[in-house]
Structure 1
Amino acid sequence: MKQHALQTAMALYQGGTLDLETAANQAGVTPDRLRRAVRRAGGSITATGSTVERISVTAD
């Protein structure tokens, strides 16, 4: 199950939906671990300091 969470976090990070720290937190890994996984998979790393719009999600 953790592998699925990591793959999902990688996709959300690479797509710009989540920043590195949030994606790593969602997957239960460190940001460094997520960054290495993205590099190993041949994905692109979002430059540090780039702006990512955060979306507030709430439930009823």
Structure 2
Amino acid sequence: MITLPSEISQKVDDYRFTKRFRTETEALVRLIEAGLEAEAANTVNASTANMKAGER
């Protein structure tokens, strides 16, 4: 169990109801998955940019 600041908790609730997740846990899992995917994509993009910069 984690405690979230009220502002983040409200955003999670808004996301949950917008996406029609049954539980807060489902919404949190999807948000974490999306964040991890985005982070992985950023890492790949940064590596590619660094390689291209080295080619110049």
Could you tell me the TM-score, scaled by structure 2's length? 0.37
Could you tell me the TM-score, scaled by structure 1's length? 0.35
The structure with higher relative contact order (CA 8 Å, sep 6+) is 1
Larger helix fraction of residues: 2
